[in-house]
Structure 1
Protein backbone atom coordinates (compact mmCIF):
# COMPACT_ATOMS: atom_id res chain seq x y z
CA UNK A 1 0.00 0.00 0.00
CA UNK A 2 1.22 3.51 -0.81
CA UNK A 3 1.76 6.00 2.01
CA UNK A 4 -0.23 8.89 0.54
CA UNK A 5 -0.14 12.09 2.58
CA UNK A 6 -2.85 14.17 0.88
CA UNK A 7 -4.38 15.13 -2.46
CA UNK A 8 -1.94 17.45 -4.20
CA UNK A 9 -4.06 18.88 -7.05
CA UNK A 10 -6.74 18.22 -9.65
CA UNK A 11 -6.02 18.93 -13.33
CA UNK A 12 -8.74 20.19 -15.67
CA UNK A 13 -8.47 20.84 -19.42
CA UNK A 14 -10.83 23.55 -20.67
CA UNK A 15 -12.00 24.54 -24.14
CA UNK A 16 -12.01 28.33 -23.62
CA UNK A 17 -9.25 29.45 -21.28
CA UNK A 18 -10.51 32.97 -20.56
CA UNK A 19 -14.09 31.81 -19.94
CA UNK A 20 -12.95 29.03 -17.60
CA UNK A 21 -10.46 31.29 -15.82
CA UNK A 22 -13.29 33.76 -15.14
CA UNK A 23 -15.59 30.96 -13.91
CA UNK A 24 -13.07 29.38 -11.53
CA UNK A 25 -11.90 32.72 -10.11
CA UNK A 26 -15.01 34.93 -10.18
CA UNK A 27 -17.79 32.35 -9.74
CA UNK A 28 -16.06 29.79 -7.52
CA UNK A 29 -13.74 32.34 -5.95
CA UNK A 30 -10.51 30.35 -6.32
CA UNK A 31 -7.28 32.32 -6.03
CA UNK A 32 -4.72 32.57 -8.83
CA UNK A 33 -1.44 31.23 -7.47
CA UNK A 34 0.53 31.13 -10.75
CA UNK A 35 -0.27 31.60 -14.41
CA UNK A 36 2.02 30.41 -17.19
CA UNK A 37 1.76 30.52 -20.97
CA UNK A 38 3.71 27.67 -22.53
CA UNK A 39 4.51 28.86 -26.05
CA UNK A 40 5.82 25.50 -27.29
CA UNK A 41 2.41 23.93 -26.50
CA UNK A 42 0.28 27.03 -27.23
CA UNK A 43 -1.15 26.30 -23.81
CA UNK A 44 -1.92 28.05 -20.56
CA UNK A 45 -1.45 26.49 -17.13
CA UNK A 46 -3.26 28.26 -14.30
CA UNK A 47 -2.61 27.15 -10.71
CA UNK A 48 -5.61 27.87 -8.48
CA UNK A 49 -5.95 27.71 -4.72
CA UNK A 50 -8.58 27.74 -2.03
CA UNK A 51 -7.74 29.51 1.23
CA UNK A 52 -4.08 29.56 0.20
CA UNK A 53 -3.96 25.83 -0.56
CA UNK A 54 -2.94 24.68 -4.06
CA UNK A 55 -5.97 22.85 -5.49
CA UNK A 56 -6.55 22.93 -9.26
CA UNK A 57 -4.43 23.14 -12.40
CA UNK A 58 -6.47 24.61 -15.26
CA UNK A 59 -5.02 23.85 -18.70
CA UNK A 60 -5.85 25.00 -22.21
CA UNK A 61 -4.78 22.84 -25.14
CA UNK A 62 -5.64 23.49 -28.78
CA UNK A 63 -8.22 21.02 -30.17
CA UNK A 64 -8.77 19.04 -26.97
CA UNK A 65 -11.37 16.24 -27.18
CA UNK A 66 -14.95 16.60 -25.91
CA UNK A 67 -16.13 14.87 -22.74
CA UNK A 68 -17.64 11.57 -23.99
CA UNK A 69 -20.90 11.73 -22.02
CA UNK A 70 -22.55 13.31 -19.02
CA UNK A 71 -22.19 12.42 -16.19
CA UNK A 72 -21.24 8.77 -16.27
CA UNK A 73 -18.15 8.88 -18.50
CA UNK A 74 -15.07 7.07 -17.23
CA UNK A 75 -12.64 9.30 -15.41
CA UNK A 76 -13.37 12.26 -13.18
CA UNK A 77 -17.09 12.28 -12.39
CA UNK A 78 -17.31 15.64 -10.61
CA UNK A 79 -15.57 18.12 -8.31
CA UNK A 80 -17.14 18.59 -4.89
CA UNK A 81 -16.73 21.67 -2.69
CA UNK A 82 -17.84 21.88 0.94
CA UNK A 83 -20.08 24.81 1.91
CA UNK A 84 -21.62 26.00 5.16
CA UNK A 85 -24.79 27.63 3.79
CA UNK A 86 -26.40 25.70 0.93
CA UNK A 87 -29.26 28.16 0.32
CA UNK A 88 -26.93 31.15 0.30
CA UNK A 89 -24.52 29.58 -2.19
CA UNK A 90 -27.34 28.38 -4.47
CA UNK A 91 -28.81 31.90 -4.48
CA UNK A 92 -25.41 33.36 -5.45
CA UNK A 93 -25.17 30.95 -8.40
CA UNK A 94 -28.70 31.74 -9.54
CA UNK A 95 -27.96 35.48 -9.31
CA UNK A 96 -25.11 34.85 -11.78
CA UNK A 97 -27.54 33.02 -14.11
CA UNK A 98 -25.92 29.65 -13.45
CA UNK A 99 -28.33 26.72 -13.63
CA UNK A 100 -28.36 24.71 -10.40
CA UNK A 101 -30.05 21.36 -9.84
CA UNK A 102 -32.57 20.99 -7.03
CA UNK A 103 -30.96 20.45 -3.63
CA UNK A 104 -31.07 16.78 -2.62
CA UNK A 105 -30.34 14.86 0.56
CA UNK A 106 -27.52 12.28 0.67
CA UNK A 107 -29.34 9.11 1.74
CA UNK A 108 -26.28 7.84 3.61
CA UNK A 109 -25.13 10.96 5.48
CA UNK A 110 -28.33 13.01 5.56
CA UNK A 111 -26.36 16.02 4.24
CA UNK A 112 -27.66 18.35 1.51
CA UNK A 113 -25.99 18.64 -1.90
CA UNK A 114 -26.54 20.02 -5.38
CA UNK A 115 -24.84 20.18 -8.76
CA UNK A 116 -24.06 22.80 -11.41
CA UNK A 117 -21.56 22.81 -14.28
CA UNK A 118 -18.41 24.64 -15.29
CA UNK A 119 -18.28 26.24 -18.77
CA UNK A 120 -17.31 22.90 -20.35
CA UNK A 121 -20.03 20.91 -18.61
CA UNK A 122 -17.83 19.41 -15.88
CA UNK A 123 -20.20 18.68 -13.00
CA UNK A 124 -19.45 20.59 -9.79
CA UNK A 125 -21.07 19.60 -6.52
CA UNK A 126 -21.74 21.73 -3.46
CA UNK A 127 -21.93 19.58 -0.33
CA UNK A 128 -23.16 21.15 2.90
CA UNK A 129 -21.07 20.56 6.02
Structure 2
Protein backbone atom coordinates (compact mmCIF):
# COMPACT_ATOMS: atom_id res chain seq x y z
CA UNK A 1 0.00 0.00 0.00
CA UNK A 2 0.98 3.66 0.13
CA UNK A 3 4.23 4.47 1.91
CA UNK A 4 4.82 8.21 1.49
CA UNK A 5 4.55 11.00 -1.06
CA UNK A 6 7.14 10.46 -3.77
CA UNK A 7 6.72 13.77 -5.59
CA UNK A 8 4.48 16.76 -6.07
CA UNK A 9 4.23 18.33 -9.53
CA UNK A 10 3.86 22.09 -9.96
CA UNK A 11 3.22 23.93 -13.23
CA UNK A 12 4.65 27.44 -13.03
CA UNK A 13 3.95 30.59 -15.05
CA UNK A 14 7.54 31.89 -15.09
CA UNK A 15 10.06 29.05 -15.05
CA UNK A 16 13.14 31.16 -14.23
CA UNK A 17 11.40 32.88 -11.32
CA UNK A 18 10.05 29.63 -9.88
CA UNK A 19 13.38 27.84 -10.40
CA UNK A 20 15.13 30.59 -8.44
CA UNK A 21 12.48 30.52 -5.69
CA UNK A 22 12.57 26.77 -5.08
CA UNK A 23 16.34 26.32 -5.44
CA UNK A 24 17.78 29.56 -4.05
CA UNK A 25 15.10 30.79 -1.62
CA UNK A 26 13.92 27.40 -0.32
CA UNK A 27 17.22 25.61 -0.90
CA UNK A 28 15.96 22.51 -2.69
CA UNK A 29 18.63 20.43 -4.44
CA UNK A 30 18.40 19.93 -8.20
CA UNK A 31 18.27 16.26 -9.20
CA UNK A 32 17.78 16.81 -12.93
CA UNK A 33 16.76 19.58 -15.30
CA UNK A 34 15.51 18.79 -18.79
CA UNK A 35 14.01 20.74 -21.65
CA UNK A 36 11.47 18.87 -23.76
CA UNK A 37 11.50 20.49 -27.20
CA UNK A 38 8.30 18.76 -28.37
CA UNK A 39 6.39 20.34 -25.46
CA UNK A 40 8.45 23.54 -25.21
CA UNK A 41 8.60 22.67 -21.55
CA UNK A 42 11.16 22.45 -18.80
CA UNK A 43 11.01 19.74 -16.16
CA UNK A 44 13.05 20.35 -13.03
CA UNK A 45 13.31 17.58 -10.44
CA UNK A 46 14.06 18.88 -6.94
CA UNK A 47 14.93 16.88 -3.81
CA UNK A 48 13.86 17.47 -0.24
CA UNK A 49 16.09 16.11 2.55
CA UNK A 50 13.71 13.21 3.29
CA UNK A 51 13.91 11.91 -0.28
CA UNK A 52 10.58 13.27 -1.48
CA UNK A 53 10.64 15.42 -4.59
CA UNK A 54 9.04 18.40 -6.29
CA UNK A 55 8.69 18.42 -10.06
CA UNK A 56 8.59 21.91 -11.54
CA UNK A 57 7.14 22.21 -15.06
CA UNK A 58 6.76 25.06 -17.52
CA UNK A 59 3.99 24.62 -20.08
CA UNK A 60 3.29 27.50 -22.47
CA UNK A 61 -0.28 28.73 -22.24
CA UNK A 62 -1.17 26.76 -19.10
CA UNK A 63 -4.37 28.22 -17.62
CA UNK A 64 -4.29 29.72 -14.14
CA UNK A 65 -5.85 27.66 -11.35
CA UNK A 66 -8.17 29.36 -8.88
CA UNK A 67 -6.82 28.93 -5.37
CA UNK A 68 -8.67 31.40 -3.17
CA UNK A 69 -10.98 31.57 -1.45
CA UNK A 70 -10.83 27.88 -0.56
CA UNK A 71 -11.28 26.48 -4.07
CA UNK A 72 -11.69 22.72 -4.35
CA UNK A 73 -8.54 20.72 -4.96
CA UNK A 74 -5.07 21.08 -3.49
CA UNK A 75 -5.24 23.60 -0.65
CA UNK A 76 -1.52 24.07 0.10
CA UNK A 77 1.83 22.29 0.40
CA UNK A 78 3.28 22.03 3.89
CA UNK A 79 6.97 21.53 4.65
CA UNK A 80 8.17 20.39 8.06
CA UNK A 81 10.88 22.55 9.64
CA UNK A 82 12.66 22.57 13.01
CA UNK A 83 12.14 26.28 13.75
CA UNK A 84 9.31 28.19 12.07
CA UNK A 85 10.46 31.57 13.38
CA UNK A 86 14.01 31.13 12.04
CA UNK A 87 12.72 29.98 8.65
CA UNK A 88 10.25 32.87 8.52
CA UNK A 89 13.06 35.34 9.20
CA UNK A 90 15.27 33.75 6.53
CA UNK A 91 12.50 33.99 3.93
CA UNK A 92 11.71 37.59 4.86
CA UNK A 93 15.42 38.46 4.57
CA UNK A 94 15.12 37.39 0.92
CA UNK A 95 12.13 39.68 0.38
CA UNK A 96 9.48 36.96 0.59
CA UNK A 97 6.24 38.03 2.25
CA UNK A 98 5.37 35.64 5.09
CA UNK A 99 2.19 35.74 7.17
CA UNK A 100 2.24 35.93 10.97
CA UNK A 101 3.10 32.76 12.88
CA UNK A 102 0.06 30.86 14.14
CA UNK A 103 -0.36 27.98 16.59
CA UNK A 104 -2.22 24.81 15.55
CA UNK A 105 -5.02 24.54 18.08
CA UNK A 106 -4.93 20.75 18.05
CA UNK A 107 -1.19 20.00 18.05
CA UNK A 108 0.17 23.21 19.62
CA UNK A 109 2.73 23.40 16.79
CA UNK A 110 3.70 26.66 15.12
CA UNK A 111 3.05 27.20 11.42
CA UNK A 112 3.17 29.99 8.88
CA UNK A 113 2.02 30.57 5.29
CA UNK A 114 3.70 32.22 2.32
CA UNK A 115 3.38 31.86 -1.46
CA UNK A 116 5.55 30.81 -4.37
CA UNK A 117 5.94 33.13 -7.39
CA UNK A 118 2.63 31.88 -8.83
CA UNK A 119 0.70 32.40 -5.60
CA UNK A 120 0.67 28.70 -4.67
CA UNK A 121 0.13 28.62 -0.90
CA UNK A 122 3.04 27.05 0.97
CA UNK A 123 3.21 26.30 4.69
CA UNK A 124 6.06 25.77 7.11
CA UNK A 125 5.00 23.47 9.96
CA UNK A 126 7.19 23.07 13.03
CA UNK A 127 8.35 19.55 13.85
CA UNK A 128 7.95 19.82 17.61
CA UNK A 129 5.16 21.37 19.68
CA UNK A 130 5.78 24.75 21.24
CA UNK A 131 6.56 24.49 24.93
CA UNK A 132 5.90 27.36 27.20
Q: Which moved more, 1:46-55 or 1:95-104?
A: 46-55
* Contact 1:71–1:123 under 8 Å retained in 2: no
Q: Are the aligned partners of 1:71 and 1:77 in contact in 2 as well (CA < 8 Å)?
A: no
How far is the alpha carbon of 1:76 from its aligned partner? 1.3
Query: CA offset at residue 65 of structure 1?
Result: 0.8
Residue number in structure 1 paired with 2:130: none
Aligned to 1:75: 73
Question: Using the alignment, how far apart are the partners of 1:5 and 1:116 within structure 2?
Answer: 28
Decide which of 30, 39, 42 is 1:41's aligned counterpart: 39
Unaligned runs of 5+ in 1: none
Give the corresponding residue for 1:117: 115
- Structure 1: distance between partners of 2:111 and 2:7: 23
- Counterpart Cα distance in 2 of 1:32 and 1:124: 19
Report the equivalent of 1:4: 2
Question: Which residues of structure 2 form unaligned runs of 5+?
Answer: 128-132
- Which of the residues 85, 94, 100 maps onto 1:87? 85
The residue number in structure 2 matching 1:25 is: 23
Q: 4+ runs of 1 displaced by more than 2 Å?
A: none
- Aligned residue-pair number: 127
